[in-house]
Structure 1
Amino acid sequence: MQEERKKLFDTAVALYKTGLSVIPVTQDKKPLVKFKDIRPDFKTVTNIIRASRDCMIAVKTEDFFVIDVDTDKGTSHANGFEEFNKIPTELLPATLSQTTASGGKQYFYLKRNDIQLNKMLNIGAGIDIKAQRNNFVVIAPSIRHGRPYRWDNHNPITTAPKELIKYLNQKSSKSKKGSNYVNNWQPIGGKTYTGRTLEELLTSSQQGRRNLDMTSFVGKILRHGVDPYMAYELVQIKNEHNAPPLDDGELNTIFNSILKTELERRAVNG
């Protein structure tokens, strides 16, 4: 076994022993074993790697997800770094990353139990999120068409900040890709007041406008008779779409202040 193949084999064995689902794949990234909803058999995986001269290894994204940033030389033929660089740096703590065979980057983050990633994540051309349990990602030291995957560092995989998950979910919901029926939608007669308010509920505020926008939103829904308990739940939903969200103390101060003002207004007006 050549040195490169031995290194690949040893890596597969080590990863399998940690509990990861290791998948041998072809140069076209086609799986060589069954893997959906199961963990591939260790003996089958290692036998394939031994027998193959050019297979690569991949791991399933079961407990982690990957931000996959492509270059215009990759399969998407788009420069994903333009979109990736829009992600606020404070949302991207240092973590394990690798350089792909095409020169792209992949950043590994552990999933969270308190917030889930959307099932269909598409946040821009040249950037993909591999997160579902039956997704997989090719890893170093695989070699594809003569070009290697290389680890950038030896960092542990960091747990994704909650704000990063919210940001990715929000970006994916605004993606222009998808159904033509959605992209061609035009409201008849313009948006209603209710429609504008519902859109405002799910619209992120820029960091310098979060307090102002939240104050306006709280006042609007309270003036239109929304029950305070339900209003507070709506406020929390809106805050989750901010990147980063207001902290609980600040959010409570805004809500209680506007609620007090609304109660005083009603008392004066009878």
Structure 2
Amino acid sequence: MTKAVADVTGPGQAPRRRWRDNKKLDQWIAFWTVPVFFSLFGLAFVPLSWMMPPRSPGASQAEITDFMQSQNLLVACVILTLAFGMAPVSNACYLNQIRRMSVSPVLRYSLMAGATTGAIVGMVFAMFCFGLGAFRTGYDPEILAMLYDFGYLAFIGSLGCFCIMWMAFGLAIILDKNNILPKWLGYYTVWQYVTELMAAPVWIAKSGPFAWNGLMTFWFAMLLYVPWQFIVYVCIYRAIKNQPEEELDNFHLVNAARTEANA
């Protein structure tokens, strides 16, 4: 009888583990969905539909109609529909690391609630508004203008939920005594998301630096957000890599099963 799977090792070497025996495999799968999600998200919002960078609140009715009736918006919505499910998976990477910290679960729940709210207003609303405008030709220009405003105000003007979400993340890092993530990342996160409060004036300003496409409201926020996002992912990668296997739930489940089998 042949052996289905054999781990070939030399004398004195530890047995080689198969890749699926890695007890962090589930975490790594979740982690690597993050760049996939943001790549699809960026593809849909930028080169495909040019929803971003945001168009002007003062665009003419003809410009709004031409944009809102673009068939590329429908293709972008298809991509976002397929990619949307990856958003909670990526947030699970943060939640799992916060669970390891010596802080109250309230911060983890705050991040979870903020992530849920943020995904709805910051992605689903915009997707439906822009996609609905392109779905059927013949909509009145006034309706297209309303959907145009709704989509951009939902996407950019609802950043308050993200502030609470990431403030909880930053405070968890700062208050943590287990040093799961570096303290400077906590201060950086809190400072970075305080700047998101500058999105509040988009509900008032229709031109200038505080409009939804303005220098302070959008471009300055992106200048801070993009490098912060890359830094966070590097730190999360290191946290997963350095996490002892003894902390993993599946480690204890496997050991308990082995103990029961040997009893």
TM-score between both structures, scaled by the size of structure 1? 0.24
Question: Which has the larger strand fraction?
Answer: 1
Question: Which has the larger helix fraction?
Answer: 2
TM-score between both structures, scaled by the size of structure 2? 0.24
